[in-house]
Chain A
Amino acid sequence: MAALQRALGRNSAYLLVGPAALWLGIFFVIPMISLLTTSLSDPAGSPIYGYSMTWRFENYVDVVADYWPYLVRSFVYAGIATVLCLILGYTLAYAIAFKAGRFKTLMLVLVVAPFFTSFLVRTLSWKLILADNGWLVETLKTLHLMPEDGRLLATPIAVVAGLTYNFLPFMILPLYASLEKIDPKLNEAAADLYANPFKRFWNVVWPLSLPGVVGGTLLTFIPASGDYINASLLGNPNTQMVGNRIQSLFTTGSDYPHAAALSVILMVLIVVMVMVYVRRAGTEDLL
C-alpha cells in the first residue's frame, strides 16, 4: 500500500497532466500534421474518401498566386483594428485600474458581460447601426461629414469597425492585468520629481504596461486576421478576408488541399510576425 502511494506520489504530476496533454496532443498536434499532409496532397480526391499525399508543393504556389490580395487585406484590416483597439482599450483599462475606485469590479464585469450576447447577434446589430437609412449615416450626412451618396455598411470601414468592436475585450483584459500591478506611488514619485503628466505616462506607466500591450495586441491581432464573420456580414465582395477564402474552399469548394495550404500559409505568416514583434518589443520571456 505504502509502495503504491509512493509510486503514485512520484507520478502524480503525470496522472494530473496526462488527460489534458493527451487531448491536446490528439486533437491539436496531430490535426496540425494532418493539415500539413493535406496541404501537400493531390486535389483530385474527395472529403469522404480522403486525399492522397503526393508532396504537391504546387498547392502553395497556386494559393499564393490566387489569394495574396486576401492575405494582405486580412493583415491590413487586422492591423488597423488592433491599433484602434489599443487606443480604446488602453483608455478604458487605465480608467478602471487607476480611476474607478470602488467601481473597479463592476466596470471589469461590464467589460466581459457583452460577450454573453452571441457574437453573431451583436455583429448583426452593427448592420442596423451602420445601415444606409440609419441614424448614424443620416447624422453624418446632415453634419456634412459624409457625401450625400456615401455609405458605411458594405465598406472596409464597416469591416474594420466590426473587428475593432468584437476583439476589444481581448485587448482590455491583458492591459488591465498589467496596469493593475503598477504601484501608483511610482507615478507620485515621478510627479514629485517634476515630471509632467505626459512624461509620467511615457516614462513610467507605458514601459511598465508593455507586457499587457504585447499580450493584448496578440490576442486581438491573431483572431482578427483569421476572422471572416465581420467581412461577410458587414463588408462586400471586395472586402473579403483570407478566412472567407479558406472557409469557402473547404465548404462550397470542397478543395481541401488548397484550403489546407492557405491555412498553413496564414499560420506561418502569423507565427513569423508574432516572433518579430515580440522580439522588437523586448518581451520574449512572455512566451
Chain B
Amino acid sequence: MDEIIRQHYDVDGSDFTRAGEASGKIKKTLKDIGFTPEAVRKTAIAVYEAEINLVIHAGGGEIDVEITPEHVRIVLTDHGPGIENVELAMQEGYSTAPDRIRALGFGAGMGLPNIKKYTDEMDIQTELGVGTVMTLKINA
C-alpha cells in the first residue's frame, strides 16, 4: 500500500441500532490492507466507542479517516452540546449518560478512557453549545 486512503462516513444520530456501522467498515478496511491484528482491534474499539458517543451524546456527526502505511488517523466531528469538563470525562466511571443509555449497555463512564487506552494519540477540541472534534491516531 503506497497511496493514502481516505474515507468519509456520516453517522446518523437518531438510529442507535446502526451505531457502529462505520467502525465495522473501517475495521474491515484496515484488516484488508494488512494492518496488524492488534492495530486493527485497537482502532476498531476506539472508533466504535467514539461513534457510540456521537450517537448518544451529540445527535450524530461525521467520521473522516486517513490511512497511510504508518498510521491511521480518525477525525470525529459533531455539532452536539460539547464536553463541559474534559478532564472529568477522561476519568473512568464518570458519565453524563442518562439511564436509557445505560439500559442499552453504554454510559459506564469508560468511553473516553477506553479511547485513550487504545490510541497512540488522542486530541479533543470542544466548545459548549458548538460541538466537539476528536482526533485519534493509531500507529500501524
A, B bound: no
